[in-house]
C-alpha cells in the first residue's frame, strides 16, 4: 500500500521540477533577448535598433520583450549593472584593515575573473566589450552611464563610511576617495575604448596600471626631476 506521504512527496517533487523548467525557459528567453539586443547595438547602432527589431530577432512578440525588460536601455546596461553589483559585493567583503582606496582597488582587480565569468553566463565577453564601445560613443547611453556611475559612487561611499565608522554626510573623505577611484575608472574606460587593444586583458592591464599610479600621483613631487 502506497503511503499518502510518498504521494505528497512525489507531487511536490514534480511541482519543483516544473517550476525549475519554467525558470530555465524564462532565463533562456531573457538571455536570448539580451544577446540579440547587444548584437544589434554593436552592429547596427543603438539609436537605429528598436524593440521590435530585438523581439523579431528572437522570434517573440514585443509583449514578451517587455516581460523581461523595461526598454532597450535596460538591455544595454544589464551586464554593466551585474558587474557593478559584484564590485559592490567585493568591496563589502574586503578585510577591515585595508585602507579605503586599497580596498576599492583590490575589490576590482581581485574580482575581475569572477565578474567576467558572471558576464559570460549571459553573453559572450567579446560582445559585452563591443557594446562597451557603443555606450562610450552614443550620447544618450553615455549620459545614462555617467548617471549610473554617480549612483554607484554614492553607494560605495556609504559602504566605505560604514567600514571606517564614519558618517558619510558629516565626513567628506568617503565621497572624496570614491570620487577619485571612480575618476580613475572613467579614464581607463575612455582610453581603452579609444585604443587599439580591445581585449579584456587589455582593459584589466590598463585599469591596474592607472590604479597603481594613484598613490604616487597624490604623494609624489612631480617636479622633482626639474630644475627650479
Place of cell 579605503: 100
pLDDT attached to residue 17 = 59
What is the number of other CB atoms lying within 10 angstroms of the CB of residue 19?
10
Percent of the chain predicted with pLDDT > 70: 87
Question: Does the pLDDT value for residue 2 go beyond 60?
Answer: no
Instruction: For residue 20, name the pLDDT band (cuts at 50, 70, 90).
Output: confident
Our count of domains for the chain comes to: 1
Residue 118 has pLDDT above 60, yes or no: yes
Of 166, 159, 197, nearest to 181 (Cα)? 159
Q: Does 227 reside within a domain?
A: no
Give the domain extent around 28: 4-217
pLDDT for residue 228 is more than 50: no
What's the CA gap between 40 and 142, in Å, rounded? 18
Question: Strand, helix or coil at 165?
Answer: coil
Is 163 among the domain residues?
A: yes
Say whether 105 sits in a helix, a strand or coil. Answer: helix
In a domain, 157, yes or no: yes
Instruction: Output the CA torsion sign for 202, 203, 205, 209.
Output: positive
CA atoms 152, 147, 51, 200: torsion sign? negative
Question: Measuring CA to CA, which residue among 85, 82, 90 is closest to residue 128?
Answer: 82
pLDDT at 79: 92
| 3 Cβ contact partners less than 8 Å away, ≥ 6 residues apart | none
Q: What is the pLDDT of residues 92-105, one digit of tens each?
A: 999 989 999 999 99
Residue 117 lies in a domain: yes
- Once rounded to an integer, what is the mean pLDDT over residues 191-206? 82
Rounded-to-integer distance, Cα 35 and Cα 33, Å = 6
The phi-psi region of residue 171 (left if phi > 0; otherwise alpha if psi is between -120 and 50; otherwise beta) is beta
State the cell numbers at 146. Answer: 555617467
- pTM (2 d.p.): 0.80
Residue 101 lies in a domain: yes
Q: Which residue is it, cell 564590485?
A: 87
Sign of CA dihedral 155, 133, 200, 177: negative
User: Is 52 part of any domain?
Assistant: yes
Distance of alpha carbon 140 from alpha carbon 134, whole angstroms = 11
Alpha-carbon gap, residue 68 to 56, rounded angstroms: 15
Predicted local distance difference test score (pLDDT) of residue 218: 74
Place of cell 574606460: 189
Express each pLDDT in 135-193 by its tens digit: 989 999 999 999 999 999 999 999 999 999 999 999 999 999 999 999 998 888 888 87
Q: Of 51, 163, 53, which is closest to residue 100 (Cα–Cα)?
A: 163
Give me 215's grid cell.
598613490
Residue 223 lies in a domain: no
| Better pLDDT: 216 or 43 | 43
Instruction: Give the CATH number, domain containing residue 198.
Output: 1.10.357.10
24-45 residue pLDDT tens = 888 999 999 999 999 999 999 9
Please provide the average confidence, as pLDDT, over all residues in the chain. 87
Mean pLDDT of 48-53: 96
Amino acid at each position: 500500500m502506497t503511503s499518502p506521504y510518498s504521494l505528497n512527496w512525489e507531487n511536490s517533487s514534480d511541482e519543483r521540477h516544473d517550476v525549475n523548467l519554467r525558470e530555465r525557459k524564462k532565463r533562456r528567453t531573457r538571455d536570448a533577448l539580451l544577446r540579440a539586443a547587444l548584437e544589434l547595438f554593436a552592429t547596427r547602432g543603438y539609436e537605429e535598433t528598436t524593440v521590435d527589431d530585438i523581439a523579431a530577432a528572437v522570434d517573440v512578440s514585443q509583449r514578451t520583450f517587455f516581460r523581461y525588460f523595461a526598454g532597450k536601455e535596460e538591455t544595454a546596461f544589464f551586464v554593466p549593472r551585474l558587474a557593478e553589483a559584484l564590485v559592490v559585493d567585493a568591496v563589502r567583503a574586503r578585510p577591515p584593515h585595508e585602507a579605503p582606496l586599497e580596498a576599492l582597488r583590490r575589490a576590482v582587480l581581485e574580482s575581475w575573473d569572477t565578474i567576467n565569468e558572471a558576464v559570460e553566463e549571459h553573453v559572450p565577453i567579446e560582445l559585452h566589450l563591443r557594446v562597451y564601445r557603443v555606450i562610450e560613443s552614443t550620447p544618450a547611453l553615455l549620459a545614462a552611464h555617467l548617471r549610473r556611475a554617480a549612483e554607484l559612487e554614492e553607494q560605495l561611499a556609504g559602504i566605505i563610511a560604514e567600514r571606517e565608522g564614519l558618517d558619510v554626510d558629516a565626513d567628506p573623505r568617503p565621497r572624496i576617495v570614491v570620487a577619485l577611484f571612480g575618476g580613475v575608472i572613467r579614464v581607463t574606460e575612455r582610453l581603452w575604448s579609444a585604443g587599439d587593444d580591445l581585449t579584456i586583458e587589455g582593459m584589466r592591464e590598463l585599469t591596474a596600471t592607472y590604479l597603481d599610479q594613484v598613490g604616487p600621483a597624490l604623494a609624489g613631487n612631480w617636479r622633482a626631476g626639474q630644475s627650479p
